Every structure is written in C-alpha cells, then in structure tokens.
Structure 1
Amino acid sequence: MNRRQLLPLFGAALCAAACAATVVALPSAARAQGAGASGAQGAAAHPVRVGEINSYTGLPAFTIPYRQGWQLAVEEVNAGGGLLGGRRLEVVSRDDAGKPDDAVRVAQELLSSEKVDLLAGTYFSHIGLAVADFAARNKVPFVAAEPLTDAITWSKGNRYTFRLRPSTYMQAAMLVEEAAKLPAKRWATVAPNYEYGQSAVGWFRQLLKEKRPDVEFVAEQWPAQGKLEAGPTVQALAAANPEAIFNVTFGADLAKFVREGEGRGLFRNRKVVSLLTGEPEYLEPMKDEAPEGWIVTGYPVEQIDTPAHKAFRDAYQARFKDLPKLGSVVGYATMKAIAAAVEKAGSTDPEKLVEALAGLTIDSPFGRVVFRASDHQATMGAYVGTTAVKDGRGTLTGWRYADGAAYLPSDEAVKALRPAP
C-alpha cells in the first residue's frame, strides 16, 4: 500500500493544529471482484480525487458534522465498487482558516500538487466567492457545498461553479411567506456584516415589501461576524421599538444574542423570524435557553420519517454514534452529487464534468435535487418551523419542507441576474 492509502482520517484536533491535508481513500472489496490484476492496479493508481476546502477550525459546530457526512458518502461509493469501473473516490481536505486568501492558496496547492480533479466545499460566502473565481480562472469544476450568497450563482456566477444548499434568496423567500402573515408593520434586522448577512437582509426586505407594502424597517444592526457585542446590539434594537425582528446571526453570536435579548425583554411580545436558527448545530448548544416561538429555517432531524432520510440517519448513527446535523446532510449530498457527476460524465475531464453537473439529478436525504442548468443552483430545500423547548433542549414544531424549486426565479429571469457565458 502506498503512503496515501495508509493515512488515517485526521481528527478535528489535528486539523486545527496543523491545517494539514486529510485524505479519505477507502478500499472497496467490490472493486477487486471481477477485475483483472492489471485493471485493479490501474484503478488503484488513478483514484478520482476531490480537493475539499472548508473552515474546520473556524466553525467546527457545522464543519465537523459536514466532514462526517462526506466521509460516509465516500465510504458508500467505494464500498459499492467505486467510480468509472473501479476507481476509488478520494478526498484531499484542507482548512481555509476562515480567510479567502488562504482558501485560494490551498486551492492552487490542491490543483497543482495534489492533482485533484475538481474542488468542493467552503462555508463562508466570501470564501466561496473567492474559490469560485479561482475555479473560473483555472477552468476546474467547483461544487460549493454551503456558502449561501446569491452572487455565487447569479451576479458572479460562472461556468465552473455549482451550489448545493438553498441560497439566501431562497431561504429569505421561505421565511417571507410566514413573515407576511404576521400583523407586524415595524421591522428591525440584525445580521453579520459580510456578504451572507448583507444578502439575506437585502432579499428579506425586498421580498417582504413586495408582499406587504405597508411594512417599514425601523432599525438595523450589523455586528462583525463572530464579534457580536450583545448588550449594545440588543439595546439599539429595543430603542427602535420594532414589532418584529429578522435575525441572521448564527453560532456563538446567536447564543449571545438570544441570552441578552431574553434577559432584556427584547423578544417579549415581538415575533422573531430567523435564518438557520432551527439547525441542530446552533439550536442544540443553547439547551433550555433556546428561543421559543421563533419562525426559522432548520432541520428537525429526529422527526423526519421519509424512507430516504431514515436510511441516511440510520447509516450516519451507525457510523458515528450520533444523530446527523444539517452539515452532515450537506457534506453527504455534496459528495454523492460529485460521484453522480463523474459517472454521468464517464470521465474526470473538467469540461465533461461541468456538462454533467448542469442539469444533474440526485437523490438526497431530503429527496430529489436538481442542479439547474440555467444558474447551477440546486433545488435542495429547507425545513421551516417554529422553535420550542422540549425535554430541556431546542426543537422545531409545526414544520414543513419547503422545496427549493418553488423558491427560485424562472430560467428566463435568471438571464438578467447572471453574466452572459
């Protein structure tokens, strides 16, 4: 066995300490069956290599479950015989340290030194945009797993970039459906001051005003991501006396905002509509301090009983002894989509992979997903529900699955949003 085959799956601590490459290349018993010796050696010598980039040290609550999700997908693909007649799927993973420059640097290293066939991953929107630009300049396919900015598929979209998760536009549209039903006319917003937060607030304001011309936005707060000063933020929002609040903070910022807001009575007799808050990554750490009655996008992992989701949840639990998080679904579906694209293309040629990804249909734990040819946005949806506390921890009630296909502009409308090829 060569060195690459002997590398273990690096733990989070090692990744945090060294930001080194993680290589996942699991041998397949099925690959060896029915193949001649020379054919098996050739397949083993030329795996399908994916260069994966993400903010593992910067946001482990999401990215560690995400990594476990794609690891599960890689294991399933290789146990099923690999790709293209026996080539194993291999992932070389790098940490971007939460910095666009670092992401571009490791993308170049993955391409030139590790000889990856395509790129995948990223979490933060500004990092996703940087890697998308790199992909376009170097003509290498990039499957953006998590970054939610609409620019990645619209204003700055390119031939080589595809995105899996529902965008800020899509999730804002899902939440606006519920927000428009509220009697509130005076709204305030709080969001991290970078591409994702700016995009989410912009679309929420526009879409809500289209449905409810009588609403007005009376205050906005723009804390730096990861550096929210909860006291002043809550005080400024309360001073504006809004009837409802649109929140886009997440992670540690969300927990601080919830705790300070509850303590100061900001949420008393006010509805809160909140992006991402219903995801287990962010809801569970707050335990019995989780907010109640917020309208959110999220993931009610224990309550979804569709056959596809149950099969994924059971396999994930068996492998990692834990329930999946939303990141787990994203990582799993990302690698399954890449495997499907390689099979459809019948090759790892970059241009053939791009052609295969455009219009690609996959079965995900959330159901069927299509990567639209018009803008390279996948139709994966999100769950919309209301937060509650049950048995000392946050959960979702009254939820529904919002199919992403219903919250996207038409192919014709996309022409005005996306640069000409």
Structure 2
Amino acid sequence: MSIASSLLRCLILLAAAGLAATGARAQGVIRIGELNSYKTQPAFLGPYRMGMELAVEQINAAGGVNGRKLELVIRDDNSNPGDAVRTAEELVTREKVDLLTGTFLSNIGLAVADFARHRKVFFLASEPLTDKIVWEQGNRYTFRLRASTYMQVAMLIPEAVKMNRKRWAIVYPNYEYGQSAVATFKSLLKQAQPDVEFVAEQATPLGRIDAGNVVQALADSKPDALFNVLFAADLAKFVRAGNQRRFFDDLSVVSLLSGEPEYLDPLGRETPQGWVVTGYPWYAIDTPEHTAFLQAYQQRYNDYPRLGTIIGYSTIVSLAEGVKAAGSTDTEAMIAAFRGLEVMTPFGPITYRPQDHQSTMGAYVGTLDVRDGKGVMTDVRYVDGASVLPSDEQVRQWRPASAQ
C-alpha cells in the first residue's frame, strides 16, 4: 500500500471508525436536512456541498452510521431569514429529516437557530460566524462548527498590535457578521493597545458596495492601518478601487477571511501584498490528516479544495460521530453526545465545548503575496480555536442560563 493510500485510509478510519453496525443492520437512512444560500454565495457553497458529498460517500462506503446510510436533503434559503425558517419547517415536517445543519449568512443562522429552539430540533450551524449564535442568543439545541468572528479576530489582534499603528480605519458589510466582527476588534484591540484611535468606519450594504466612494472616505481620514471585513465580490471591488487610488501603499492591514481561496483566487495579480489575513492555504499544509483529505478530494473532483470544502466535509463527519455516540438521532441524545464530542477533521482534532456548544476548530493566519500571478498566503501558521475562546466565566456571563 502506498503512503498516500495509507494516509487516506487513516483519515477515513478516524472519521468513520466503528460506524458500521456490530449487529443486524438498522433499517432506513439518516436524513440530514441542509439549508444554505447556494444561489447568492456559490463561490463558497459550491465547494462546501462537494465536501459534504465526499464525506457522505466515504461514511456510507464504510457501512454508514450504526448500520444506517446517510442521505442529504438540500434546500436553498434564498439568503432570507423568513424563507430560511419556512424551509427549515418544510425539512422537518414534510421531508421528515432527522437533523438540521447548514446556513452561511449570520442572520440566517440566527433565524434557524431560533427555529430549532422553538421546535426542539437538533441544529449544527456549519458556517455562520456571528458570536450570538453560541453566546448571547445561544440555545441548547444549536451547536456551531466554524471558528467565529470573535475567534478569528482574536487570532489577528497580536498581529495588529505588532504593527504598532494608532489610527485605524474599518470597513465591513453592514449586517450581523460584519457588526459582530467590528465590535470584537474594537474591544480586543483597545484592551491590548489603549491609545489606539478609530478614525473612520464604512459600513457597506452586502453585495452592493460603492467601492470608489468607500475608499475615498477612508483615505480622507488619513489612517495608518485598516481592519477589513469585506468578502466575496465586495472585497474584489474594494481591492481594485484601493489599488487604483494607491490607498494601500504604506497602509498596514489585517483582514478577516481574505486568505480563503473562494475570495483570494479571484483577486489574482491585484492581491494586496502584506495584508495579514485568516484563510486556508491548502497548498502549504502538510499534516497527515490534511494530506489524506486533499488526495481524496482531488481524486474525486480533480480540483483543489476551498475553505468551504473543509467546512462541508467536517460538518458531515461531526454529525456522523454525534449520531454514533448518541446511538440514535433523538434530539436529547444528540445534545448529550455533542457536548464534549471529539471529532477528527482535515484540520486535526476538534472538540465541541459543553459550556457554549462552540467547536474548537481553528484557522490559518498568514500574509498575502503574489506568486506566478496568483494570490497566496505566506508565513502561515495554524491557530487552534481553543486558544482564542473566552473563559468559562465570560461564557456564563454571555450565554443564557436556559441554553444549558
């Protein structure tokens, strides 16, 4: 057996060991209801879906979960909270799904989490980044996989402090994710560097940025550093306008998500060099679990993974491990199983914390550069999510007692 085959076998065994039934095969399938903003966020959610499908194929090929095969029931939420709740109701009532997962936009995630609370349905929020989903508006039925805005901002704060800049400008999409990220950045940076000043803010409508005017308004404040929270097409337009006006010259920048291939690849030669970002440098990770995952994904799709792929894959592996530990898809059994659940992902082992239902999945931090006409992350390092989560005392202050 080749080294690659051995690594692949290792990851599959870590993700699916013991999932095959030891006795007679259980009847039926485990139906996973997944809703997301596929129409409006295809760059992230296309690869996300492929990651989910790869995990389902691997787990089913290994015998399923407790002898039952996994089945995805996927719906679009139209990037609208009302539509998302109606879709979730349809999945539960008409499609008879056993579990709910998904959502991308933070406001959508919060709406579905509230639905799960009212309907007493288990919900694994895979991607939405808002801190409220596990803290201020957390509930006992909702768990979250991905590193939150608080966690990723906390990863960037030491880099911002090293820049030793005083006059900070901020640009962000004006909805829950952006607002949450900015509030955390201001709070944590002020704690670490009390003399910092926030000299300008631009809150832009999601997907409708007037990039030229935004750049000019920020430049007029004469900042020496910038915190960016824009992503997708808004980021590309902002970078282009900033490059054209030489706004980024001699400007220190820290930026959420900009190193993710979904958002970095479209920048190409326009990638702003020197930005410190969170992201996913798939080409620079050489751990056994990631190597095995990468080889499996490339063999299946003849493409490289994006960050969405990691999230989609890890979502399904998490649900499979949760059902295995619970012994069923019963809601209360799943809640008990997920509290403290340990899961092996392509980023390594993670744990779902019992105190707030947040996983310890981390993220990569690095510096943007251009190589062969493409944007890349350099000087990368993985930051374990457990190292940037708040204390148990803080969680008790933020999270409702009813969420336990």
Note closer, same or farther for the CA distance 1:313–1:32 as it changes in structure 2 (3 Å cut): closer
Output the CA distance in 2 between the equivalents of 1:167 and 1:83.
Answer: 29
The correspondence of residues 80-95 of structure 1 with structure 2, limited to 5 A, is: 80-84=62-66, 86-95=67-76
- Root-mean-square deviation (Å): 1.4
Deviations 1:166-191 (A, max 9, x none): 10000011011100111210000000
Amino acid in structure 2 at the alignment position of 1:418: R
Partner residue, 2:39? 57
Partner residue, 1:384? 365
Partner residue, 1:191? 172
Output the CA distance in 1 between the equivalents of 2:217 and 2:138.
Answer: 36
Partner residue, 2:234? 253
Partner residue, 1:139? 120
Q: 4+ residue stretches of structure 1 with deviation over 2 A?
A: 30-35
Partner residue, 1:337? 318
Pairing 1:76–2:80 present = no
Output the CA distance in 1 between the equivalents of 2:335 and 2:178.
Answer: 29
Partner residue, 1:202? 183
Pairing 1:282–2:263 present = yes
Contact 2:248 2:272 (8 Å CA) reproduced: no
Amino acid in structure 1 at the alignment position of 2:317: K
The correspondence of residues 242-391 of structure 1 with structure 2, limited to 5 A, is: 242-391=223-372
Deviations 1:339-386 (A, max 9, x none): 000000001111101111111100111111000000000000000000
Deviations 1:141-180 (A, max 9, x none): 1000000000000000000000001100000110111001
State the secondary structure of the residue aligned to 1:222.
strand
Output the CA distance in 1 between the equivalents of 2:391 and 2:343.
Answer: 21
Per-residue deviation, 1:289: 1.2
TM-score for the superposition, normalised by structure 1: 0.90
Note closer, same or farther for the CA distance 1:79–1:218 as it changes in structure 2 (3 Å cut): same
Contact 2:116 2:141 (8 Å CA) reproduced: yes
Note closer, same or farther for the CA distance 1:31–1:254 as it changes in structure 2 (3 Å cut): closer
Q: Report sequence identity in percent.
A: 58
Per-residue deviation, 1:34: 9.3
The correspondence of residues 204-219 of structure 1 with structure 2, limited to 5 A, is: 204-219=185-200
Partner residue, 1:66? 48
Output the CA distance in 2 between the equivalents of 1:96 and 1:244.
Answer: 37
1:182 aligned residue (163, 167, 171)? 163
State the secondary structure of the residue aligned to 1:384.
strand
Per-residue deviation, 1:410: 1.6
Output the CA distance in 1 between the equivalents of 2:279 and 2:393.
Answer: 30
Per-residue deviation, 1:288: 1.1
Output the CA distance in 2 between the equivalents of 1:236 and 1:122.
Answer: 33
Output the CA distance in 2 between the equivalents of 1:212 and 1:370.
Answer: 31
Q: Which runs of 5+ in 2 are unaligned?
A: 1-17
Per-residue deviation, 1:32: 11
Output the CA distance in 2 between the equivalents of 1:201 and 1:411.
Answer: 23
Amino acid in structure 1 at the alignment position of 2:315: T
Amino acid in structure 1 at the alignment position of 2:70: L
Output the CA distance in 2 between the equivalents of 1:267 and 1:34.
Answer: 60
Per-residue deviation, 1:412: 2.4
Output the CA distance in 2 between the equivalents of 1:196 and 1:107.
Answer: 21
Per-residue deviation, 1:31: 10
Contact 2:169 2:225 (8 Å CA) reproduced: yes
Note closer, same or farther for the CA distance 1:99–1:68 as it changes in structure 2 (3 Å cut): same
Partner residue, 1:26? none
Partner residue, 1:157? 138
State the secondary structure of the residue aligned to 1:336.
helix
State the secondary structure of the residue aligned to 2:163.
coil
Output the CA distance in 2 between the equivalents of 1:241 and 1:318.
Answer: 49
Deviations 1:114-143 (A, max 9, x none): 111110010000000000000000001100
Partner residue, 1:112? 93
Aligned residue pair count: 385
State the secondary structure of the residue aligned to 1:302.
helix
Partner residue, 1:9? none
Amino acid in structure 2 at the alignment position of 1:187: W
Pairing 1:48–2:62 present = no
Output the CA distance in 2 between the equivalents of 1:271 and 1:178.
Answer: 10
Higher RCO (CA < 8 A, seq sep 6+)? 2
